[in-house]
């Protein structure tokens, strides 16, 4: 099972989970031409696309996915936020409900953002259990034993404060981020309180361009979680197989 990152920021989000003959896409915030290219134009292998919430960096290209006959699983709010010609390939999901997408089992879990948003626990026989959480201020959910963790680490409070003090960020940014995105210490705390004994690696998502420091984030989380940590940069490819060799 290969994870490919096409984008992981407010500029646009899209991830592939690729097994031998099936691909699950997470988020539709990257131009569809780029998605097709990254799929080597093998659209027939795509079993579905999950979207976490309606913000455009996650859902902007939803209609292109639908036009290509890709089943999109998302909250009703995501479909209602756009003018769609047809809903044939739209599958509405609800928090705390499970879905089967090809060989993937998907559980939608509630998270706390400034619009309705879900995270996912995704299971596949080749990968085990993966947690995917982005765009949330916190997680009020006790996690089951996991094999892989993809978790937001959007900003660091000291970097944000420096940017506010120096006029790089407006003061109002603090209030907005507090209610919508995950601060580095929150990311670390979630990893601290949950059982990571079966976790192979942690992948940090959706870092703010201005209010984060990727290398510092990677080191901080690696130290506190005691697991290999990767930053989800565009083009990152990782083997998430249970037995990679
Ligand atoms: Zn976002
Ligand atoms: Zn968002």
Dig out the tokens for 233 from the structure: 């940069």
In a domain, residue 136? The reply is yes
In a domain, residue 25? The reply is yes
Distance 245 CA to ligand 1 centre (A): 34
In a domain, residue 11? The reply is yes
The span from the CA of 95 to the CA of 108, in Å, is 5
Q: Which residues lie near ion ligand 1 (Cβ < 5 Å)? A: 57, 135
Distance 153 CA to ligand 1 centre (A): 11
Which residue range forms the structural domain that includes residue 23?
2-237
Instruction: Give the number of the ligand closest to the Cα of residue 29.
Output: 1
When the pLDDT of each residue in the chain is averaged and rounded to a whole number, the result is: 96
Long-range contacts of 102-105 (CB under 8 A, 24+ apart): 102/22, 102/24, 102/47, 102/48, 103/19, 103/22, 103/47, 104/17, 104/22, 104/24, 104/47, 104/48
Distance 41 CA to ligand 2 centre (A): 29
Burial level of 51, CB count in 10 A (0-12/13-18/19+)?
A: buried
Predicted local confidence at residue 244, as pLDDT: 55
Q: Is the pLDDT of residue 245 over 60?
A: no
Confidence of residue 137 (pLDDT cuts 50, 70, 90): very high
The span from the CA of 100 to the CA of 107, in Å, is 9
Confidence of residue 242 (pLDDT cuts 50, 70, 90): confident
In a domain, residue 244? The reply is no
Domains identified in the chain, total number: 1
In a domain, residue 81? The reply is yes
Task: Give the distance between the most distant pair of CA atoms in the chain.
Answer: 51
Q: Which residues lie near ion ligand 2 (Cβ < 5 Å)? A: 55, 135
Distance 59 CA to ligand 2 centre (A): 10
The span from the CA of 108 to the CA of 50, in Å, is 10
Terminal CA-CA length for the chain: 12
Q: Is the pLDDT of residue 184 over 70?
A: yes
Strands of the chain (E only): list them. 2-9, 12-18, 23-26, 46-50, 72-74, 90-92, 98-101, 104-110, 118-124, 128-133, 148-152, 201-205, 229-231, 237-239
Q: Is the pLDDT of residue 47 over 60?
A: yes
In a domain, residue 143? The reply is yes
Under 8 Å between Cβ of 73 and 50: yes
Mean pLDDT of 47-62: 98
Task: Provide the CATH number for the domain around residue 169.
Answer: 3.60.15.10
Instruction: Return phi, psi of residue 159, to 5°.
Output: -70, -40
Instruction: Give the number of the ligand closest to the Cα of residue 27.
Output: 1
Q: Is the pLDDT of residue 13 over 90?
A: yes
Distance 158 CA to ligand 2 centre (A): 22
Q: Is the pLDDT of residue 213 over 70?
A: yes
In a domain, residue 243? The reply is no
Q: Is the pLDDT of residue 235 over 50?
A: yes
Distance 105 CA to ligand 2 centre (A): 24
In a domain, residue 242? The reply is no
3-state SS assignment for residue 202: strand
């Amino acid at each position: 099972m290969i994870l490919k990152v096409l984008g992981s920021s407010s500029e646009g989000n899209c991830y592939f989970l690729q097994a031998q003959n099936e691909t699950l896409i997470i988020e539709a915030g990257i131009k569809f031409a780029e998605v097709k290219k990254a799929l080597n134009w093998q659209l027939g292998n795509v079993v579905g696309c999950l979207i976490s919430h309606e913000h455009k960096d996650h859902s902007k290209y939803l209609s292109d996915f639908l036009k290509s006959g890709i089943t999109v699983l998302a909250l009703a709010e995501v479909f209602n936020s756009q003018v769609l010609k047809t809903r044939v390939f739209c599958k509405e999901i609800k928090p705390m409900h499970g879905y089967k997408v090809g060989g993937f089992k998907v559980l939608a879990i509630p998270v706390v953002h400034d619009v309705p948003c879900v995270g996912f626990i995704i299971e596949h026989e080749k990968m085990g259990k993966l947690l995917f959480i982005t765009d949330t201020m916190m997680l009020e959910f006790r996690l089951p034993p996991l094999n892989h963790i993809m978790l937001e680490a959007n900003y660091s409070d000291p970097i944000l404060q420096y940017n506010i003090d120096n006029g790089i960020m407006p003061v109002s940014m603090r209030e907005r981020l507090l209610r919508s995105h995950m601060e580095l210490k929150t990311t670390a705390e979630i990893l601290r309180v949950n059982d990571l004994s079966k976790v192979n690696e942690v992948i940090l998502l959706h870092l703010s361009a201005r209010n984060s420091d990727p290398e510092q984030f990677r080191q901080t989380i690696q130290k506190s979680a005691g697991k290999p940590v990767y930053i989800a940069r565009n083009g990152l490819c990782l083997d998430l197989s249970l037995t990679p060799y």
